[in-house]
Structure 1
Amino acid sequence: MKKEQYLGVNVSVMTYDEILDDLRSRISEGKQSTVIAVNPEKVITANKNPLVKELINESTYQIPDGIGMILASKVKGGSLKERVTGVDMMERLLRFAAEEGHGVFFYGAKEEVVSEAKRKLEERFPTLNIAGYENGYTKDNQALVDKINASGAKLLFVALGSPKQELWIKENMKHLNVKVFQGVGGSFDVFSGRTKRAPEFYRRFGLEWLYRLMKEPKRIKRQMNLPKFLIRVLFSR
């Protein structure tokens, strides 16, 4: 599986369709797979925290979520052609699950958020089997693992924030019958309607960061990670 590396962090070069085709084969072979979104902010964090770097690099698919990853690939002569965002990857996986007849399970976020996301997604994908869900405030982890296994779900979406969600997946996947794991951050908020995505124009040109910055000027400190990241990539070997 071809990957590129930026500041020691792996990034998959596969498109949405290529990932789904590969997952189809891996599920049929009984293999477990993990999906993690990678952006400049997360790469910088990974360079400060070895555990975060390990969680990213051990994943099956490190999807390039953020225009900064595409720009870095261009700077270094790589082959990344398109963003593969976490929320869009989740949507494609849900459609894939509906078409293939795989059950899915949601874990994380507030009760009213995850339950509303479930309701709206069932309306959107009538053949989707959301086999179960649990909010992110449960205290009994073993009961949660048992509930997920009892549901028969093949895909699990975990919304605990990064890197907490990836750490939870790493620690629990060996005890689960799930085949595909994705840490999805605030995606339940998007699908529940609580959070609005940037308009299509901004998404098409990779300018979601600009839209969010205009809505929340206080994000400027976080957005400064993009130029820092590109400068470091430019001068890296």
Structure 2
Amino acid sequence: MKEKFLGVNVSSHSYNQLKEKIMLDIEQKKQSFIVAINPEKILRAQQDAELRRLLNGATYQIPDGVGVLLASKIKGGDISQRVTGIDMLLTLCEQATIHDKSVFLYGAKPGVAEKAKESLIRKYPNLKIAGVLDGYVKDQGYIKQQINAAKPDILFVALGSPRQEHWIVENMKDLDVRIFQGVGGSFDVLSGKVKRAPAIFQRFGIEWLYRLIIEPWRIKRQIKLPMFLFKVWEGRK
């Protein structure tokens, strides 16, 4: 169940479908890789064949952005629900609590992942967090050793995109982990370091507008949305 936009695959699964598939992947001891896809990432992949290959090689490409939903409508597709990176993280933590699975938080600045852990424990008191490691540790052998010693079912990697996706692809074969998700700045939001858009903006899929209001310099990035939609419309036949 995937649609293609400018050469990049996007999964059309809903949250419910994804959590069922991912929990099954864990039970079957299958390694799966979740990557969030937005218009900016798709446009970047137009100029970067390696990035495009990496994104398309993921198991699940979640539609993280209202622009992808609009593009699906333009092409007559079936993607009707935005699946944001942070909400996917929360969904997996909820499922981990229900199914007695564990998670590991890797990335962000020193102290941020620890605060994100505290936030997640408050939300899901029975959640097993097998370990936490900041993104400034340089020794790759040590990082893999710590993760493997913890034996988490799910690894959340917050190194920024596309660095985190490259890290996952390069290291997943050496890690005793079933599910990998690149989560960008999610630890910053969970820790309270960065404020997420109010619920009304989330509900209508316009978190980008809230970020633009509080950070006007983002206009250079947001202008890419109409460019993306135009390119999808041009190539819809």
**Residue 119 of structure 1, CA deviation:** 1.5
Aligned positions of 1:54-93 closer than 5 A: 54-93=53-92
Q: Which residue is 2:140 aligned to? A: 141
Separation in structure 1 between the aligned mates of residue 219 and residue 125 of structure 2, nearest angstrom: 40
Determine if the alignment matches structure 1 residue 12 to structure 2 residue 11.
yes
Give the TM-score, by structure 2 length: 0.98
Q: Which residue is 2:199 aligned to? A: 200
Which secondary structure does the structure 1 equivalent of 2:61 belong to? strand
**Residue 184 of structure 1, CA deviation:** 0.3
Q: Which residue is 2:52 aligned to? A: 53
Q: Which residue is 1:190 aligned to? A: 189
Determine if the alignment matches structure 1 residue 171 to structure 2 residue 170.
yes
Separation in structure 2 between the aligned mates of residue 41 and residue 78 of structure 1, nearest angstrom: 20
Root mean square deviation, CA, Å? 0.8
Deviations 1:14-54 (A, max 9, x none): 00110011112211111001110000000000111111111
Deviates more, 1:119-128 or 1:163-172: 119-128
Determine if the alignment matches structure 1 residue 26 to structure 2 residue 46.
no
Determine if the alignment matches structure 1 residue 222 to structure 2 residue 225.
no
Deviations 1:181-206 (A, max 9, x none): 00000000111011111111111111
Deviations 1:204-235 (A, max 9, x none): 11111111111111110100110000000000
**Residue 155 of structure 1, CA deviation:** 0.3
Which secondary structure does the structure 2 equivalent of 1:178 belong to? coil
Number of aligned positions between the proteins:
236
Deviations 1:64-84 (A, max 9, x none): 000000000000100001100
Give the TM-score, by structure 1 length: 0.98
Which structure 1 residue ranges, 5 or more long, are not aligned? none
Q: Which residue is 1:100 aligned to? A: 99
Question: Alignment identity in percent?
Answer: 51
Q: Which residue is 1:121 aligned to? A: 120
Separation in structure 2 between the aligned mates of residue 55 and residue 98 of structure 1, nearest angstrom: 30
Counterpart residue type for residue 91 of structure 1: L
Separation in structure 1 between the aligned mates of residue 71 and residue 104 of structure 2, nearest angstrom: 34
Separation in structure 2 between the aligned mates of residue 143 and residue 112 of structure 1, nearest angstrom: 18
